[in-house]
Structure 1
């Protein structure tokens, strides 16, 4: 998310919403993506999700006979047989990297990795129809012969302890988080882990939940137990039951072998008929709280972890089940030198036009997706439009000035009984 050479109406946005990498490069702390339904917004998040998964798992999560989970653009005969193209540019250890690959369902067609050691971009490795070539710094002798046609050289290199590949995959695994706002309940365990294991993150999570006015006084977390304590219970079981128990244990334990949450309770104040506080009521998060409260709890760990560790967080359907003021407050957390001193980045996909304001965003932080008559999605920025900084971005967007809205036909006679 490179910042454009522009000045916001509110100077505070220029001071808080961007950060400088060096004298020539400035990046944005957040970006919002708008567009009509079926305009391709979620495909962007899905493409990023696949790229991350394939980078991490292609060497170990697939077999030689398996297809690669890419889908060609099927609305043009010219693209049906072409490979899908993926590329990411990122900063790691204060150096700029550019990594990408092209793949069909049958094989990786090409793959490349570049970095900028000083001024000029330099090739680290390149893979094409003629083979795999790499520079001396990559130290991957013999690994090209071990790379399957349906696996990434980067992924295989990391499996064989090539330092640069390991660092890149560690960055992708730990620093890039991609979340669906419609299926975020699965991150309750992520939040619960920090509530139990990290005092610093626990304090921040509780403060965030308290500030968002959910009416929750306290949280009570019950853990299942460690992997060892669970598997210890299988000692006296018949062999056929041990296998079943182990599968159940995998479902309730996370990848670190630590317990996922068995029960999350929220405590609310209880009052008598005169409004006097008399005690507390214990609610079950999943059965007694609202969908919005459950979502905020689930993503609060992600938000706090991203802000504290300087991570990049991508959220599809960001506004689902969230009040507009809560969405606004979350974006403000990222657009702030005070609450985001580590330059975490938030990229989110939304329909919430309440956020389309020059009080929150610079023009280069607002993006749109729109399909042309051939079904091809175009992603473009508001910075490409010549608009005054003091105009209402929301009103102009709803009026269709920037495109990326649905064009709804005449519905007057839709339910005409005589039709």
Structure 2
């Protein structure tokens, strides 16, 4: 599970931003009623979900991009060669584009806590470190300093200097160590590959078939709970032409590739088939796509992040998706949303409701409803948000007179 994630100097994020899944000490009646929103890990309460709320262009998507960038660096940086430039932009105002960017992720793998961090510029890794808590006390796995020197914990990594010799300033040591079959690095690599998922999948890819077959009955039950009249779904492999670029040839050629197509059947006429892609509503298609991914997350205690996960969904369906996470034993969801109905202390704890705002100097700031000590749980959080009490709401001068003036210019 994820405990906390920190990053700074990434797109609109200038100062350090922290997304904290460690639950705050809230001992109110409402918090106790929302006990299913929290995981108990060795006596530490950890949140199952955190929601990001705020106006457009405040930085919600950049927070998710930063986490995605951090994870992709872990998974892919061993492939970087000389001349590689990392695919991100630092904060562009006040000289920050010349400063380094920093990332830290604190997480639990195989019931052991790990704290991993790295610092980089656009064209090189500056520093990197990994610590773990094997017996509850912080211990070093490795540290890579800005001067290129390494130090290692005793007996944790086999032949670490062999990995160092194969690690350039374009590669994370953790990524390289995994590619060189070092046990602890491979374990953490598998965690970021399989346990912390970075969004939804294309349901037309053949890789989805195993998940569909595994969870078909649960998906149909979920669709029934969500008041669709779909009674059955079939998966079929079809071949479709796809463009292929051939080096040295200016024109595209086409070849047949296998894709997955889903056919639905409805309560009224169970023998009439519908094409999910062409004949079902946007909301139904989106819900199906989420369920394919989310049921794997829920069943196998994984984590996932989703940007505007409820776009195109009825608010009751958004509630259902959160209920899936909160009903699980140990899954986690980080999401962004413009659905103010979710800003409800009867559904989410105050520390689960996180506001994202952009300051006058263009920087993203993050704070939770829990940070407002004068907010009482008998108040209407959604109403307060819309009224601008927590700042993270767009100011739009949309009066008829102001719009008339705009059209007259």
TM-score by length of 1: 0.84
Question: How far, CA to CA, are the matches of 1:167 and 1:325 in structure 2?
Answer: 38
1:59, CA displacement in angstroms?
Answer: 0.5
Distance 1:36 1:294, change over 3 A: same
2:368 to 381, 389, 398: 381
The worse-fitting range, judged by mean Cα deviation, of 166-175 and 353-362 is 353-362
1:202, CA displacement in angstroms?
Answer: 2.4
Matching residue of 1:275 = none
1:415 to 386, 404, 407: 404
Question: Residue 402 in 1 paired to residue 387 in 2?
Answer: no
Question: Residue 223 in 1 paired to residue 237 in 2?
Answer: yes
How many aligned residue pairs are there?
371
Matching residue of 2:111 = 94
Whether the 8 Å CA contact 2:201–2:293 is kept in 1: the answer is no
Unaligned runs of 5+ in 1: 226-239, 253-259, 271-277
Distance 1:279 1:265, change over 3 A: closer
Question: Residue 186 in 1 paired to residue 186 in 2?
Answer: no
Question: Residue 33 in 1 paired to residue 33 in 2?
Answer: no
Question: Residue 57 in 1 paired to residue 76 in 2?
Answer: yes
1:207, CA displacement in angstroms?
Answer: 1.6
From the two aligned structures, give the one with the greater strand fraction. Answer: 2
Matching residue of 1:202 = 216
Distance 1:413 1:161, change over 3 A: same
Question: How far, CA to CA, are the matches of 1:327 and 1:28 in structure 2?
Answer: 18
Distance 1:17 1:155, change over 3 A: same
Question: How far, CA to CA, are the matches of 2:387 and 2:350 in structure 1?
Answer: 17
Question: Residue 149 in 1 paired to residue 169 in 2?
Answer: yes
1:85 to 102, 126, 145: 102
Question: How far, CA to CA, are the matches of 2:29 and 2:52 in structure 1?
Answer: 21
**How large is the Cα RMSD of the aligned pairs?**
2.1
Whether the 8 Å CA contact 2:302–2:332 is kept in 1: the answer is yes
Distance 1:284 1:113, change over 3 A: same
The worse-fitting range, judged by mean Cα deviation, of 3-12 and 98-107 is 3-12
The worse-fitting range, judged by mean Cα deviation, of 316-325 and 125-134 is 125-134
Matching residue of 2:10 = none
Question: How far, CA to CA, are the matches of 2:364 and 2:146 in structure 1?
Answer: 29
Distance 1:185 1:19, change over 3 A: closer
Matching residue of 1:274 = none
Unaligned runs of 5+ in 2: 1-20, 240-247
1:41, CA displacement in angstroms?
Answer: 0.2
Question: How far, CA to CA, are the matches of 1:106 and 1:11 in structure 2?
Answer: 46
1:91-170 matches, cutoff 5 A: 91-130=108-147, 131-136=149-154, 137-139=156-158, 140-170=160-190
Q: Give the match's secondary structure for 2:234.
A: strand
Distance 1:124 1:418, change over 3 A: closer
1:103-125 deviation per Cα after TM superposition (whole angstroms, max 9, x unaligned): 11110011110111223211211
TM-score by length of 2: 0.86
